[in-house]
Amino acid sequence: MLFSARGLLRSLQTCPSKLRRCLHSHYSTLSSSHREQVTIPCRSNGHITLRQVVVAKPCARIFLNVFFLFHPRVASGPAPAIILYLPPGPLLPTTWPTVDAGAALSSVTSAIVVQINYRCSQEHRYPTPIHDVLTGYDWVLENLIPSRSFHRPGRSANHRIKLAVCGELVGGSLAAMLALTECRLQGPYVAAAAINEPIIDWVFPEDDEVEHETSVDRLASYVQGLQVGQKSKAKSKPRQTSFSTFGDNTNLSASALLKARHDLFRRPEDYFDTFASPIFNFRTPGVPVPPPPQPKSPVDEFAELALFERDEFHRQQLKMSALSNRLQSPDQQEESTAEATKKPRKSYRRWPNAGSGLRIPQMRISSAVTSPLSDQVEEFARLMQKSIVSQELKTVEAEGDDMAKEAAYMLAERQIHHTQPDNLRLWSLGIIGIIIIVILAIVIPVAVVLSNKNNSSTTGAASATSTSSSSPANKNLDGMSESDIPKEAQGTILDPFTWYDTTDFNVTYTAATVGGLSIMGLNETWDDSTKANDNVPALNETWEYGKMPIRGVNIGGWFSIEPVITPSLFSDFKTSDDVIDEWTLCSKLGASRAQTTLEQHYASFVTEADFAGIQAAGFDHVRIPFSYWAVTTYDGDPYVPKISWRYLLRAIEWARKYGLRINLDLHGAPGSQNGWNHSGHQGAINWLNGTDGTINGQRTLDIHSQLSTFFAQPRYKNIIAIYGLVNEPKMTYLDVDTVLTWTKTAIQKIRSNNITAIITFGDGFRGLDNWQGELQDFDNLLLDVHQYVIFNNQQIALDHAAKVDFACGGWTNQTLRSSNKATGFGPTLCGEWSQADTDCATYLNNVGVGSRWEGTLNMVSTPGGSLDGSVLNPTCPTANSPRCSCSNANASPSSYSPAYKQWLLDFAEAQMYSFEQGWGWFYWTWKTESATQWSYKDGLAAGILPEKTWERTFKCGSIPDYAGMGLPENY
Task: Please indicate, yes or no, whether residues 526 and 452 belong to a single structural domain of this protein.
Answer: no
Report the alpha-carbon distance of residue 636 to residue 626 in Å, rounded: 20
Whether 311 is covered by a domain: the verdict is no
pLDDT in the model for residue 185: 63
Same domain, 78 and 180: yes
- Note whether 574 and 425 are same-domain residues: no
Burial class (CB in 10 A: 0-12, 13-18, 19+), 776: exposed
Provide the Cα torsion 456, 585, 84, 69; round to 10°.
Answer: -160
- Number of Cβ within a 10 Å radius of residue 448: 25
Lowest mean pLDDT among 205-219, 234-248, 424-438: 205-219
Q: How many CB atoms lie within 10 A of CB 640?
A: 23
Residues 16-65 have pLDDT tens digits of: 333 333 333 333 333 333 445 555 565 444 555 555 544 333 332 222 22
Dihedral of the alpha carbons of 736, 739, 744, 746, in degrees to the nearest 10: -170
Query: What is the DSSP annotation of 409-429?
Result: HHHHHHHEEEE--SS---GGG
pLDDT of residue 809: 95
DSSP 885-953: -STTTTS-GGG--HHHHHHHHHHHHHHHHHHTTTTEEEES-S--SS-GGG-HHHHHHHTSS-SSTT---
What is the domain-level CATH number for residue 44?
A: 3.40.50.1820
- Give the chain's domain count: 2
Residue 665 near residue 623, CB atoms below 8 Å: yes
Spell 159-195 as b/e; 16+ CB within 10 A means b. Answer: bbbbbbbbbbbbbbbbbbbbbbbbbebeebbbbbbbb
Residue pair 785/728 in contact by the 8 Å Cβ criterion: no
pLDDT mean over 538-560: 98
In a domain? residue 499: no
Region of poorest pLDDT, from 76-85, 270-279, 419-428, 469-478: 76-85
- 670-702 tens-digit pLDDT: 999 999 999 999 999 999 999 999 999 999 999
CB 52 within 8 A of CB 70: yes
Distance CA 295, CA 952 (A): 83
Which residues, other chains included, contact 691 with Cβ-Cβ below 8 Å and sequence gap of 6+?
none
**Tally of CB atoms within 10 A around 36:** 17
Say yes or no: 771 and 893 in one domain: yes
Q: Which of 813, 816, 966 is nearest to 899 (CA)?
A: 966
Catalytic-residue membership of 728: yes
The C-alpha torsion from 379 through 383 and 389 to 391, rounded to 10°, is: -170
Distances (CA, A) of 602 to 56, 466, 559, 594, 626: 27, 13, 7, 12, 11
Range of the domain at 535: 522-580+606-856+886-942
pLDDT, tens only, 746-788: 999 999 999 999 999 999 999 999 999 999 999 999 999 999 9
Query: End of a domain among 428, 459, 490?
Result: 459
User: Residue 229's pLDDT is what?
Assistant: 41
Distance between start and end Cα atoms, the chain: 52
Going by C-alpha positions, the residue among 563, 559, 564 that lies closest to residue 605 is: 559
- Do 451 and 544 fall within a single domain? no
Residues 821-848, buried b or exposed e (16+ Cβ, 10 A)? eeebbbbbbbbbbbbbbbbbbbbbbbbb
Residues 78 and 170 placed together within one structural domain of the fold: yes
* CATH number assigned to the domain comprising residue 739: 3.20.20.80
Residues contacting residue 222 through CB under 8 Å, at least 6 positions apart: 262, 293
Helix (H, G, I), strand (E, B) or coil at 451: helix
Higher pLDDT, 111 or 279: 279
- How long a stretch of residues is the chain? 971
Question: Of residues 832, 909, 916, 969, which has the active-site annotation?
Answer: 832
Query: CA-based angle 576:582:585, to the nearest 5?
Result: 40
Least confident of 35-49, 189-203, 658-672: 35-49
Please, what is the average pLDDT of the chain?
79
Q: Rounded distance, CA 507 to CA 341, Å?
A: 73
Given 182, 728, 929, 969, the catalytic residue: 728
User: Rounded CA gap, 824 and 774, in Å?
Assistant: 9
Burial readout 650-660 (b: 16 or more C-beta within 10 A, e: otherwise): bbbbbbbbbbb
Which whole number is the average pLDDT over 426-441?
54
Distance CA 875, CA 323 (A): 57
Are the C-beta atoms of residues 628 and 582 closer than 8 Å to each other? Answer: no
For residue 343, is pLDDT > 70? Answer: no
* 85: phi then psi, degrees, rounded to nearest 5: -110, 125
Which of 459, 476, 509 is the last residue before a domain boundary?
Answer: 459
pLDDT exceeds cutoff 90 at 461: no
* Whole-number Cα distances in Å, 510 to 480, 486, 494, 652: 15, 10, 8, 20
| Cβ atoms 423, 370 nearer than 8 A | yes
Asked whether residue 488 is domain-assigned, the answer is: no
Cβ pair 823, 927 in contact under 8 A: no
The C-alpha angle with vertex 558 and arms to 552 and 564, in degrees rounded to 5, equals: 90
Q: Are residues 624 and 749 in the same domain?
A: yes
CB atoms within 10 A of CB 576: 9
Domain identity same for 689 and 832: yes
β-bridge mates for residue 783, sequence order: 761, 828
In this structure, are 804 and 935 located in the same domain?
A: yes
Asked whether residue 433 carries a pLDDT value surpassing 70, the answer given is no
User: Which pLDDT score is estimated for 234?
Assistant: 38
- pLDDT above 50: residue 446: no
Q: Which residues pair with 551 in a beta bridge?
A: 921
Using pLDDT thresholds of 50, 70 and 90, give the confidence band for residue 435.
low
Is 482 assigned a catalytic role? no
Question: pLDDT-based confidence at 270, cuts 50/70/90?
Answer: confident
Is the confidence at residue 527, as pLDDT, over 90? yes
In a domain, residue 178? The reply is yes
Examine the domain organization and report whether 793 and 707 are in the same domain: yes
Quick one: pLDDT at residue 4?
A: 34
Pairing assessment for the beta strands 36-41 and 47-55 based on DSSP bridges: antiparallel
631 to each of 343, 375, 559, 700, 714, how far by Cα in Å? 69, 53, 12, 11, 20
As a whole number of angstroms, the distance between CA 489 and CA 16 comes to 42
Question: How far apart, in whole angstroms, are the C-alpha atoms of residue 55 and residue 109?
Answer: 7
Mean pLDDT for 620-644 is 98
Looking at residues 276-284, what average pLDDT do you find? 87
pLDDT at 10 over 70: no
Checking if the pLDDT of 384 tops 60, the result is yes
Q: Please give the residue that has the higher pLDDT: either 91 or 149.
A: 91
Q: What is the dihedral of CA 139, 144, 148, 154, to 10 degrees?
A: -80
What's the rounded Cα separation, in Å, for the pair 772 and 770? 6
CA distance 126 to 800: 68
Residue 485, in any domain of the structure: no
Mean pLDDT value across residues 480-493: 92
Torsion on CA atoms 337, 340, 342, 347, rounded to nearest 10: 140
Which of 233-237, 257-261, 306-310, 838-842 has the highest average model confidence (pLDDT)? 838-842
Whether residue 267 is contained in a domain is answered as no
More confident residue, 302 or 352: 352
More confident residue, 956 or 209: 956
In a domain, 951, yes or no: no
Q: Are residues 188 and 70 in the same domain?
A: yes
In a domain, 895, yes or no: yes
752 and 836: one domain?
Answer: yes
pLDDT for the residue 147:
53
pLDDT higher for 81 or 318?
Answer: 81
If you average pLDDT over each of 92-96, 102-106, 864-868, 906-910, which comes out highest? 906-910
Residue whose C-alpha is closest to residue 946's, from 915, 889, 901: 901
CA 71 to chain CA centroid, Å, is: 32
Q: Is the pLDDT of residue 899 over 60?
A: yes
Overall average pLDDT of the 531-553 stretch: 98
Q: Beta 661-668 vs 513-514: how paired, if at all? A: unpaired
d(CA 708, CA 751): 8
3-state SS, residue 333: helix
Q: Are strands 661-668 and 362-366 parallel, antiparallel or unpaired?
A: unpaired
